[in-house]
A and B are shown apart, each in its own frame.
Chain A
Amino acid sequence: MFDVHKIREDFPILKREVNGKPLVYFDNAATSQTPQVVIDTIVDYYSNYNANIHRGVHTLSQEATDAYEVARKKVQQHFNAKHSHEIILTSGTTHSINIIATGFTHFLAEGDEIIVSALEHHSNIVPWQMLCDRTGAVLKVIPMNEEGELLMDVYDTLLSDKTKLVFTNHISNALGTINPIEEIIEKAHSVGAAVLIDGAQSCPHVKPDVQALDVDFYVASAHKLCGPTGVGMLYGKSEWLEKLPPYQGGGEMIEQVTFEKTTYAGLPHKFEAGTPNICGGIAFGAALDYMNAIGFDNIAAYEKELLDYGTKKLLEIEGLKIYGTSQNKTSVISFNLENIHPYDVGTIVDKLGIAVRTGHHCAQPIMDFYKIPGTVRASFSFYNTKEEIDALVEAVKKAKMMLS
């Protein structure tokens, strides 16, 4: 039985006040809050078995190694990867993307094409531009419509035997649109292209099955999933990860080193040079356990309720416009008040204890499309309530009164 008031008890931060008002945290698309069980995992690690992993024979090192590898298995099970060595633990989504973007330097030639979607975060545009600069490959963009949905008929025309890689987010961070990744993957494979899906925004809301999707690479960050910052994952099909060269050189990723020649370690260590974020990885596992215990179906159903309620309530404010109006979206509402800068709205609602994001959300091309400087973005999580949405609506009304 999903009981939001009981769930809120798990998050110590939700009890604090901001500017003398109870905190209303609606910046979940930027980072999620951390439940006590994950905080306890972090404290337990540093209190009881902090050690370097994969090399020590002493007890602490064994315990830490075991816990870290158990966490990798939890990630594997969560994403339903076939093998645990297909899960690379990284510092986050950006790191994961860069492993692929750098690795593909070896697979691309001048005139090859990479397709990205118009809904991308800057971290999903820049690595591909850099890859194109290195290789002479060309970047193609799947455009979007006014609702913030990708134009799939244009995607069809962009695909050809020159397409080597297709890249899109599963869910847009700025607008919340859920992209039709099954179709994107299937069509890319039909021309022999590999597909990388950025799950940074989807993983808090849905449980992806990488085998059912038949996706080549899938990436995500723990901190959007009730885990700590500085840790994330890269799933890659074995055959791809075997082919890709290592991203960084260092300890952990080697099999044998002489000054003449080094042979690399097998998967997943080939991509995990240096001492990893051990505690973060273990806490990532704990966060997945926490969210799975609540259940993603429950989470999705409740968040849909919040989205519908928030959309209805906000639209009652005259002059408020929502950007990203796809029927197929997650609990993100990006909006502006007519003739009022989003920064002004964000400043006033913060004074009222409400955390929203303002600005271009690292997705300037989307803002350029709508010809706006940015939006106010309220993103709801399963621990938010309708009462909090009411507080947001009141705060926006107050901001409108002060700023018009």
Chain B
Amino acid sequence: MTIQEIQEEIVDEFSMFDDWMQRYEYMIELGKSLPLIDEKYKTDDNIIKGCQSKVWVHAEMKDDKIEFTADSDAIITKGIIAILIRAFSGQHPKDIIDAGTGFIDEIGLKEHLSPTRANGLVSMIKQLKMYAIAYQTQLN
């Protein structure tokens, strides 16, 4: 599936819920299926700055596609990074670079998109895209 298709799928899933509590509970559920980062990569270098909770992200290139793994010590943050990774992992770097993030708004998490929000969603997106740019540069 393309990033666009996955994002539409996520938006579809979230549209089933009509209040924030259900959406948050689902997000917490998604956090449990997050592809967990190998403990050895849980280093300070891999912590995303700008988050009140700790978020570690690791990226690896497999067959020209980036596989992301991550973890967080806060469960809501873990849900947020899980959603992002589901949309971006297993994709070609160029597609990750070009991908939009409007689906975050559509699934009712708009409040997390503010750059001043302490959860660092914006920093997470930036970090995933930075990995994509780095790998894209290697490919060129």
User: Is the CB of A54 closer than 8 A to any CB of chain B?
Assistant: no
Which residues of chain B are within 8 angstroms of A343 by Cβ–Cβ distance? Answer: 52-53, 74, 76-77, 118-119
Interface residue from A348, A374, A402 paired with B52 (Cβ < 8 Å): A374
Q: Which residues of B contact A373 (CB under 8 A)?
A: 53-54, 73
Whether A403 pairs with B28 at a CB distance below 8 angstroms is: yes
The answer to whether B119 and A347 touch across the interface, beta carbons within 8 angstroms, is: yes
Which of B21, B28, B76 gathers most chain A CB within 10 Å? B76
A402 to B118, CA, bound (A): 20
A340 interfacial contact with B, CB 8 Å: yes
CA distance A110 to B64 in the complex (A): 59
The CA of A145 and the CA of B65, in the complex, are separated in Å by: 52
| A contact residues, total (Cβ < 8 Å) | 15
- Binary A-proximity of B44-63 (CB < 8 A = 1, otherwise 0): 00000000111000000000
B74 CB contact (under 8 Å) in A19, A341, A398, A402: A341
In the complex, A351→B53 CA distance in Å? 18
A359 at interface by CB-CB < 8 Å: yes
Complex Cα spacing A341 to B31, Å: 14
Question: Which A residues lie within 8 Å of B73 (CB)?
Answer: 341, 373
Q: Which residues of A contact B21 (CB under 8 A)?
A: 351, 398, 402
Contact bitstring B22-47, A, C-beta under 8 A = 1, else 0: 00110010000000000000000000
Q: Mark A320-343, 1 if CB is under 8 A from B, else 0.
A: 000000000000000000001101
B31 to chain A, nearest CB (A): 10
When the two chains form the complex, which single residue of B20, B75, B118 contacts A341, counting CB atoms closer than 8 Å? B75
User: Does A344 reach chain B (CB closer than 8 Å)?
Assistant: yes
Of all chain B residues, the one with the shortest Cβ separation from A351 is B20
A340–B21 Cα distance when bound, in Å, is 17
**Residues of A bordering B, CB below 8 Å:** 19, 340-341, 343-344, 347-348, 351, 358-359, 373-374, 398, 402-403
A-B residue pairs, 3 tightest by C-beta: A341-B74, A343-B53, A343-B74
